[in-house]
Every structure is written in structure tokens, then in C-alpha cells.
Amino acid sequence: MAGGGGGRRLCSGVLESLDDCFTGFLIVVLEWYEQVRRRLLPLLRRQKMALLTAPVVAAVLLLTWAAYGEADYVLYKDATKPVEARVSDLLARMTPAEKIGQMTQIERQVASPQVLKDYFIGSLLSGGGSVPRKQATAAEWVNMVSDFQKASLSTRLGIPMIYGIDAVHGHNNVYGATIFPHNVGLGATRDPNLVKRIGAATALEVRATGIQYAFAPCIAVCRDPRWGRCYESYSEDHRIVQAMTELIPGLQGDVPPGFTSGMPYVAGKNNVAACAKHFVGDGGTQNGINENNTIIDRQGLMNIHMPAYLNALQKGVSTVMISYSSWNGIKMHANHDLITRFLKDRLNFKGFAISDWEGIDRITSPPGANYPYSVQASILAGIDMIMVPNNYQSFISILTSHVNNGIIPMSRIDDAVTRILRVKFTMGLFENPMPDSTMADQLGKKEHRDLAREAVRKSLVLLKNGKTSDKPLLPLSKKAPKILVAGSHADNLGYQCGGWTIEWQGDTGHITVGTTILDAVKAAVDPSTTVVFAENPDAAFVKNGGFSYAIVVVGEHPYTETRGDSLNLTIPEPGPSTVTTVCGAVPCATVLISGRPVVVQPFLGAMDALVAAWLPGTEGQGVTDVLFGDYGFTGKLPRTWFKSVDQLPMNYGDAHYDPLFPLGFGLTTQPRTY
């Protein structure tokens, strides 16, 4: 309600009621009335005019105020001005309540237009599976985001909100989106340009739903496959992870010449803000336990887990998400040394640091045991935006109290808000705050599915081909009279995509639009070939079926985060039984769907061929492209494949390195000529 520039702020408290604001308004009106009366009356007496009545003075006052408002230049709304000048101007106009609102990110399920207006909320997000409705269209997403954005724009200063989502292998929350291979598969491609193109396609699909911020990429260096998030890591080798930070310019656009490392950058409204995560050391926890303690000296942390962040900053990553994990016993969400002194001061990161989902709650054990302390510790550590995501009223109230009581200085709040506004101005959010409904056709478009198919075939790693090297099984014949397709994962799109797909933990069945491996086999073979599918056939059926060969597709069931932690890394039944039964009766190619190396040595001898297909996503034809020889196998292991879990952790270069298949292993084949 206040005018711009040096005008007195009418609602300058932290959480004033509307009555307080109105009272302030009346006070200012009366003050202005008295000033005008004192100045005009002597003048009017000298001119022998009648005394002005109160209504006339009020009219003059209102006209004067209106003219003042029109003449007041609002710098932060001027797109021709430098970003830093716009940030400073807007920050100077903000109340503490508006600043704290900008630091607050809440789940769409607890949000409403009124909540955004009342609390000046700076950011919304969709957690895994949080959607406007099941199988919502792009238009429905756009309408939802638009309603929220209109509310933000209707506030006193009109600061647009930024909407974030976990688009970690494509726009994976959204029905009908293209689902690309998870990061472990992309690491197997060794193709940074491919990853960059995937980033650009993902950005278009995210923007098609009105969303401007992707919580990607995960640049963890997974050092133990027992970790439930290992498939979110490109490799155990930081150099491969560094190369794959090309996802960032794919999402955000290429930084311009002379770019200053550490500044945030988003090229335009077809791009999205990216998020390097999870800072730092999340892939090195003890025994691969999610959110656990990473025990390593500073040199080790810097040499293994930090390098990809330097690449991310050089490429203009806009945000950095803090890890749930600890480093040598200190929770990363409370680590001032690494967040402020190293990331911000030493590396010159000028974007904003964001917490993980209820990440600050986990500073204490049990989580949330002392929430006021968690708020204090995380903000003072240097986190700028808190992914609350639900109890925003409590968070805002506590942070407000900490500021009012001097526990958290206003300078720390101003730093956080400066960073958030810098990202919003840089990405053009003030000029283009509303979703573009004309982009709906980008969601799941053919060109993106073709790109995903390319990524699948480049990600496949051939671990075995033939009982002996001189008798390869692959590529398979498309003209075999009768073939068997078996296994729990052959006709299950949810299993094929893995976690972080439609639901947080993933799901089973035909959960979105895509092509299963069984569908792909049927489409690939000659019309004369009979394809028989039996998920878990018995030995007699296989022996007596007259099959030329079998394709067995088995693997892990979907999981995410802690639910994926595994100390044994075994394939769940009936996968092993299916492999044993089928491969014991006919020549078989086993396609393994998993987020990491798993125990295969006991059945390796029975298989004629073994393909590590990772979690390939929606485009199953990428698998058959290579199985049938339209393309050759080129993928290389992004991780060491162990013989036994007793060897873990075991990474390339370790003294006890004795793998079943080493990092970088992968047999190759030549495309079949027809």
C-alpha cells in the first residue's frame, strides 16, 4: 500500500493485521491533511479567498497523492536496468514479512492463492506424486500454476513466485512426459552432448506445464551401490560426473562469453532454473546408508565430492540444494563452513542455497525435536530458501521471532532475499511470470521420445555375449520362427522407469505413456516371428515350447531414497528363478533393469548374454534397437560391478580392487547389415 521511493511504509511490521495496515493508512492521511491545511490556509487568506473546507482539502490531498504515485519511478520494474540495481531497489521496499515470505517454499497441497497473498510466499513445489489430479494434462498444470502466480502478482510489490519440481529424468512427475534413463544410465553413455540435449528437452517439457525450476541435476558421486539413491548419480568417478554437468546448460542455456563463475544464469522463458544437489558428500555415506555420515578428510571431500560443483558454478547453476547427510558428524544443513565460507565466499556462488524437503527438521534427532533451533542453525549456516514444505506458518512465525529478537540478523535475511531475487530477475521472471499455454505440445513430443530412445541404446552395457567368446548370441535374429519373452520387467513400464516416476517411489504397471520392452520386441521382429510372453514360465513350458531363443527381463523393483538402501543387493524373486529356469532350457539374453550393480555372479554362467539396461525410462525400443543389431552396443560401466557385497565399498583405484567387471567395462558389437 505504500508509495515507492522514499514514501513512508504503511505496513512495515512483520505480521500486521489488515486493521493495523488501515490504521497506519489513516494516520498518514491525517498527517498529510494537516500539512496541506497549514500551508494552504495562509496563502488563501492572503488571496482573500474563502477558507477551504475539509472536503476540499481532502480532494486536493488525494489529487496530490495520485500525482505523486504516478510520478514515482519504480526502478525494479524496469527491465532495462541492471539486475543488481533492480534487486537493491526491490529489497529496499520490502517489509520483513515480505522478505521472510520469499525465503519460504511450500508444497502446492497446502497452498492457495490466499495463502500466497497473506504470507508473501516466494516459492511453491510439487513433491513426488503431487499433481493437480491423476493424469493431469499440460493445460491443467498451467491453469494451476497461473492461479498461484496471479495471487503472487497481486501482492503489494508483485513479486512472482518460482515453482519447483523434481524433473530428474525428464519431467517425471507428469503423466505423458518423456522419461529418460536415470543418471546412472546416462553416465554409461559417456556422452555429455547427449545429456545436454536431454536437459534442453526436459526444460521445454517442464515449461509446458508452467513450471520454471527443476531440482536437477544430482551430481552426487556414489561410492557405494548399497545407497538407495545411487541411480541418481552418474558415476563413482567424479570426472564422469563433472562431464555430465552439461545437463545444466541444457536446462538453463549456455552462459555468455566472459561469464563470471558463480553467478546464476537462465537464458530465457524456454529454459528453467537448475539445481545442483546435494551439497556435499551425499554419495559417500557410511555403508551407503541414505542421509548418513560421510567420513572423509577435507582433501578427500574436495577431490571426490566437490569437483562437479565447480563445473556447475562455471555453467551458471542458479541454485544449490543442501544434502541431508553429514560430513564427519556435522549435518550439512547446519554447516556454515561449507555453505557460507566455502560455497558462497570461496567459490563465489551468487545464486541461492535451498534446503531439501524438511531438511532443516533433520538437523536434530529425532527430526523436528527442536524446530526453533533448526530454523536458527540452517539460516545462519547460509541456507536461503527453506523447503518447509507443509508447516509454513510455524516456520514463518519462528523465523520472524528470531529476527525480532536479534538471534538472526537482518543482514542474513537480506543476503538470502538478495540471492532469491537475483535468480528471479536473471531468469526474466518479472517480465514473463505467467505460463505459456502454447508450449503444451512440448510434453512427450516425438522428438523428445526419439532422443530418449537414443539415450537408452547408448546407455546399455553389454557384460556378456555368448557362452564362449567365439559364439556370440547378440545381435538376435529378427526372423526367428518363435521366441520367448519372460520376466517380471518385460511388460511393466513402471518397473522399467524406476523411482521418481509419476509417484515419489515409482509404481508398477502402465503408469504413463511409453513402450515396454515386450511391446518393443513385438514391433522389432519380422511379422512372421511368433512372440510368446510368459512372465514366469515353468521349465517344461520352456523346454517344450520350440523357442529359438528367449529374452529374459528382470531386475529391481522401483524405490527412492531410504527405501532403496540395500545391504544385500539381490534381485528380488521371481527374477533369479526365471533366469535359472529359462536360461537352463534355451539360449537366453538377460536384460537387467536396475539402478546399480546387483548380485549376478551365481547365474552368470547360465546366461548366454547379459545386458545392464539400468532404468531406461519410457522408450523401450531403445533396448531392442541394440538387441537386434540396428545399432551396436557402446555403453561403458559407470560403476564398478562387484563379485560380492562383502567387497563393498569398492571403487576404481582401491587397494582391494577385484571386480567382476571393472569401471569402464563394456563389450561392443557392430550394427547388423541387412
Q: Domain locations in the chain?
A: 75-442, 460-647
Stretch (H or E) spanning 164: strand 162-165
Spatial neighbors of 644 by CB under 8 A, at least 6 apart, are 599, 601
Query: Which letter does DSSP use for residue 608 in this model?
Result: S
Rounded to 10 degrees, what is the CA torsion of 506, 511, 512, 514? Answer: 100
Q: Cα separation of 344 and 337, whole Å?
A: 10
**3-class SS at 467?**
coil
Is 356 noted as a catalytic residue in this protein? yes
Choosing from 561, 565, 619, 625, the catalytic residue is 561
Confidence of residue 72 (pLDDT cuts 50, 70, 90): confident
Nearest to 569 by CA among 593, 592, 598: 598
Cα→Cα distances 628→477, 619, 621, Å: 6, 16, 10
479-514 burial, b at 16+ Cβ within 10 Å, e below that, comes to: ebeebbbbbbbbbbbbbbbbbbbbbbbbbeeebbbb
The CATH code that applies to domain 460-647 is 3.40.50.1700
Nearest to 556 by CA among 609, 485, 610, 508: 508
- Beta strand extents in 496-602 (DSSP E only): 530-534, 549-555, 588-593
Confidence of residue 469 (pLDDT cuts 50, 70, 90): confident
Is 232 noted as a catalytic residue in this protein? no
Say how far residue 575 (Cα) sits from the centre of its chain.
Answer: 31
Choosing from 236, 291, 356, 625, the catalytic residue is 356
Query: Quick check: 226 pLDDT over 50?
Result: yes
Query: Quick check: 46 pLDDT over 60?
Result: no
Are 328 and 295 contacting, i.e. CB atoms less than 8 angstroms apart? Answer: yes
| 634 backbone dihedrals φ, ψ, rounded to 5° | -135, -10
| 530 backbone dihedrals φ, ψ, rounded to 5° | -90, 125
The pairing of beta strand 461-465 with beta strand 609-614? antiparallel
Q: What is the pLDDT of residue 547?
A: 98
- The model's pLDDT over 591-627, given as tens digits with 9 standing for 90+, comes to 999 999 999 999 999 999 999 999 999 999 999 999 9
Q: What is the pLDDT of residue 674?
A: 62
**3-class SS at 30?**
helix
Q: Cα separation of 275 and 427, whole Å?
A: 14
348-372 burial, b at 16+ Cβ within 10 Å, e below that, comes to: ebbbbbbbbbbbbbbbbeeeeeebe
Neighbours of 336 (CB within 10 A): 15
Which range has the worst mean pLDDT, 44-53, 71-80, 446-455?
44-53
Nearest to 183 by CA among 633, 671, 616: 616
- The model's pLDDT over 239-248, given as tens digits with 9 standing for 90+, comes to 999 999 999 9
Query: Quick check: 233 pLDDT over 60?
Result: yes
Q: Which CATH class is domain 75-442?
A: alpha beta
- The model's pLDDT over 291-344, given as tens digits with 9 standing for 90+, comes to 999 999 999 999 999 999 999 999 999 999 999 999 999 999 999 999 999 999
Q: What is the pLDDT of residue 206?
A: 99
Cell of 515: 513402450
Q: Cα separation of 117 and 112, whole Å?
A: 9
Query: Quick check: 79 pLDDT over 90?
Result: yes
Average predicted confidence (pLDDT) for the chain = 92
- The model's pLDDT over 386-442, given as tens digits with 9 standing for 90+, comes to 999 999 999 999 999 999 999 999 999 999 999 999 999 999 999 999 999 999 999
Q: Cα separation of 452 and 460, whole Å?
A: 13
Give the helix ranges, DSSP H, for 281-370: 298-300, 307-314, 336
- The model's pLDDT over 235-286, given as tens digits with 9 standing for 90+, comes to 999 999 999 999 999 999 999 999 999 999 999 999 999 999 999 999 999 9
Query: Quick check: 1 pLDDT over 60?
Result: no
Q: Cα separation of 628 and 475, whole Å?
A: 5
Query: Quick check: 24 pLDDT over 60?
Result: no
Q: What is the pLDDT of residue 17?
A: 41
Are 305 and 284 contacting, i.e. CB atoms less than 8 angstroms apart? Answer: yes
Percent of the chain with pLDDT over 70: 89
Q: What is the pLDDT of residue 601?
A: 96
The pairing of beta strand 530-534 with beta strand 482-486? parallel
- The model's pLDDT over 557-594, given as tens digits with 9 standing for 90+, comes to 999 999 999 999 999 999 999 999 999 999 999 999 99
633-663 burial, b at 16+ Cβ within 10 Å, e below that, comes to: bbbbbbbbbbeebeebbbbeeeeeeebbbeb
Nearest to 14 by CA among 346, 398, 281, 555: 398
Q: Cα separation of 549 and 133, whole Å?
A: 43
Locate cell 528382470: which residue? 554
Confidence of residue 673 (pLDDT cuts 50, 70, 90): confident
- The model's pLDDT over 474-492, given as tens digits with 9 standing for 90+, comes to 999 999 999 999 999 999 9
- List, as one string, the DSSP characters of 413-461: HHHHHHHHHHHHHHTTTTTS-S--GGGGGGTT-HHHHHHHHHHHHHH-E
Q: What is the pLDDT of residue 8?
A: 36
Q: What is the pLDDT of residue 468?
A: 87
Q: What is the pLDDT of residue 406?
A: 98
- The model's pLDDT over 629-667, given as tens digits with 9 standing for 90+, comes to 999 999 999 999 999 999 999 999 999 999 999 999 999
Query: Quick check: 20 pLDDT over 70?
Result: no
Query: Quick check: 61 pLDDT over 70?
Result: no
Confidence of residue 122 (pLDDT cuts 50, 70, 90): very high
Which range has the worst mean pLDDT, 28-37, 189-198, 400-409?
28-37
Q: Cα separation of 49 and 192, whole Å?
A: 82
